[in-house]
Structure 1
């Protein structure tokens, strides 16, 4: 791909969305623009199955608006796709011709299987999960896929979604008990016709798409969850059931004020979650996990990385992407600190007995500890914390992202507790212990390259009595800067590790 910017336009049955991705000079990618317009195409179909003239005119206006945004961003390649509403419209070819002549866009009409494939690619590149069911409830269709060992095994596209069900079963936007029973029996019958869906109990249900994201967002707002990302947010079956009952029993005018619920989903959220929880029960799923990455992300990966669109290690990929987005950090220094930190961790393994993901936390933190310098060097630790908490680090629980941010920006125990005050309900005492120990270990690794010259070619570390002996085997220069920094850190390190670090300077005489 020579194009540095890729636009993805997704004409869904509930809304039309645009995302513009950019590839930076350092090879990282990020979203630089986007837009969303409610469309409700699935409910604007007449008795003969045709999409109304008014809906087509409105859609053309939205697409012209989005192509203008792409033009302003000098987007080299636009990929525009359409799903169930246009796929099922009796006047499909007329719609596609009108779009081509009015906007110049050639629309790819995705089948239900295509939707499931791209949705799976978007999810599997953003989550560290081996097996599960992937469920995408759109406006006009619902895709359910089974994946094992990170590979798509089987999928089905059901011809109903939150908008079409709302139109069929709700009266003036409100679902009655009778309407709810209608939706539940429709979903149950549909699943019975696909017996493979009932043969893999106890797997997580990964929800992608608007309904699942909205459910996660509302639950976070209701429970005053302190972390702002919905991606990788877990919910129990009971969480979803309580939330559903609450929404179901709230009249429309009051539902508009429901925490976390966007106004264009006020009516369709109830049929959407009704489908989710019916599937959850029938699949005998273990729990929900909300995924913020889906169809559009999958299309981006397939376009940007043709032939190698699946990333085997999602955390490693997002770490290198985030590092490349903040190139102010001196690369050789960061690599040296990362190498030394992991070596010290291994040497201290008999002492610390930290949780087995401790090394992963330290690896990530020591890769990212200087990214805050891209905002301001003098306060880079504070900015590093903010950037990590607000960036996309895939494959991690929210608690782990917080721990990495705190380790990467570690200065002292008190400052760390202060920094994590808003998030305290996500962490336990042993997490703080891990953060403090790994934070000061990272400080020691950084002290060992204080001159940022990678003067220590190879380090031998060993424990003797109450000392951590650090012997440079190959080194250049005096290491005077490094020795002083290690001395200054010694008392803090001893409090947490029970060992005094001692840098033995090479004898140059």
Structure 2
């Protein structure tokens, strides 16, 4: 170990005298003229001198108290090689005094408060964007969408939920909702309730359709839902359901078409709306409805009456004729007869049936809404697809990724309803919509709130 006379403190080689007669560098000369930087205690003293005498005296007393307390709390010297505790270094007490100085100065109004965080314009706009929710509890499915409006007529989905609950299971035989079916629906609705509670919802509409409409204990079930989940469901009429289907799928109607038949094949009912577009389509296609009906038949009820697992050709044909007879009782069925079958006419279907056909047509290994929604199917393609699925066994339907076990016993009932519609209103093409009542609910709420209205220019001329 070098003698004490030859040892230098850290930094002495940089700031002390030059070795072996070397000249001082510019940096060393500046440091000599400037002197060593003040220690933390010196900085604290400088801070105290900038304060009024009365406040400075109080802070001096506070510093003394801190020093005394620090000395009383000082731990025994640490063993050699042990890391020194944080905050016990030189100037730690003075640093505490500086912190006390700053706090006292803030309390007397001497120091300026930190500026408020500037809110970015985009962040402020996002904070003002409303959030809407739409829930559709049907005979077969429970579905939820949460979305925010974007461009006029469009919205962005920020959360979604869908589960097959088969609420209408056995309804056709008993006339009431079964206990197990209600339990499944309530379990799904509890998840929806949690999703809604986790967000600031500006507007929501929660509806129930055919199963609750026709069940003897439908109103009782609605009360249970509100009691168990906090959700207040609204049982809508068939007319409202048809209008919502048009509102939700209207953007997929061909703008060059002169007429279209929109249908929604549900679990317990099928809504059909005839649209006359010869005078041009407006933004709200529900204004173009010239006739509508709601058939009291869906995939669940039809499959329960005729069977859905094993469906021979004669049973499949019997299903089609039953639905045809129901349509025959629709007074407005012929209002588009002069357009049916022509180039300016097409079908627009929204249901699990038509989306399943589209998935099979595309031979998807996994269902993909982006590829299905808006897809056009030619009449010959539909004939081939229906014949192909009708020829599959139950196990083959289960094995198809776009059908699966949850729809394998319902898909042929849906195909039978589709075939009945095609026989009454034959069309060269059918457009597939993977959207429906939820989208209609969101659209109507956003239109009512005016979220898509463009603000008037600030320099616009005002008229009295």
Query: TM-score band, normalised by the shorter chain?
Result: 0.5 to 0.7
Residue 314 of structure 2 corresponds to residue 178 of structure 1 = yes
Residue 348 of structure 2 corresponds to residue 206 of structure 1 = yes
2:379 to 228, 237, 243: 237
1:169 to 298, 301, 306: 306
Structure (1 or 2) with the larger CA radius of gyration: 2
SS of the residue corresponding to residue 284 of structure 1 reads coil
Map of 1:266-415 to 2, 5 A cutoff? 266-306=408-448
CA RMSD of aligned residues (A): 3.0
> 1:77 Cα deviation (Å)?
3.1
Residue 269 of structure 2 corresponds to residue 141 of structure 1 = yes
For the 8 Å contact 2:169–2:178, the answer to whether it is kept is no
Aligned position for 1:188: 324
Map of 1:433-472 to 2, 5 A cutoff? none
Aligned position for 1:41: 167
For the 8 Å contact 1:145–1:155, the answer to whether it is kept is yes
Q: Deviations over 1:378-415 (max 9, x none)?
A: xxxxxxxxxxxxxxxxxxxxxxxxxxxxxxxxxxxxxx
Q: Partners of 1:235 and 1:223 in 2: how far apart?
A: 19
> 1:196 Cα deviation (Å)?
3.0
SS of the residue corresponding to residue 440 of structure 2 reads helix
For the 8 Å contact 1:126–1:293, the answer to whether it is kept is no
Q: Report the more deviating stretch, 16-25 or 248-257.
A: 16-25
Label 1:8 to 1:165 Cα distance change in 2 as closer, same or farther (>3 A).
same
> 1:57 Cα deviation (Å)?
1.9
Q: Deviations over 1:48-74 (max 9, x none)?
A: 411012211221111111110122233
> 1:47 Cα deviation (Å)?
3.9
Aligned position for 2:9: none
2:237 to 96, 111, 117: 111
Aligned position for 2:297: 160
For the 8 Å contact 1:140–1:163, the answer to whether it is kept is yes
Aligned position for 2:360: 218
Q: Which runs of 5+ in 2 are unaligned?
A: 1-127, 282-287, 455-464
Q: Which has the higher contact order (CA 8 A, sep 6+)?
A: 2
> 1:121 Cα deviation (Å)?
0.9
Q: Partners of 2:368 and 2:166 in 1: how far apart?
A: 32
Q: Deviations over 1:435-479 (max 9, x none)?
A: xxxxxxxxxxxxxxxxxxxxxxxxxxxxxxxxxxxxxxxxxxxxx
Aligned position for 1:17: 143
Q: Which runs of 5+ in 1 are unaligned?
A: 312-316, 321-509
SS of the residue corresponding to residue 174 of structure 1 reads coil
> 1:94 Cα deviation (Å)?
0.7
SS of the residue corresponding to residue 204 of structure 1 reads strand
TM-score by length of 1: 0.56
Q: Report the more deviating stretch, 64-73 or 193-202.
A: 193-202
> 1:237 Cα deviation (Å)?
1.7
> 1:301 Cα deviation (Å)?
0.7
> 1:162 Cα deviation (Å)?
0.9
Question: How many equivalent residue pairs?
Answer: 311
Aligned position for 2:191: 65
> 1:26 Cα deviation (Å)?
12
TM-score by length of 2: 0.62
Label 1:27 to 1:268 Cα distance change in 2 as closer, same or farther (>3 A).
closer
Q: Deviations over 1:149-175 (max 9, x none)?
A: 24111100000011111111115x222
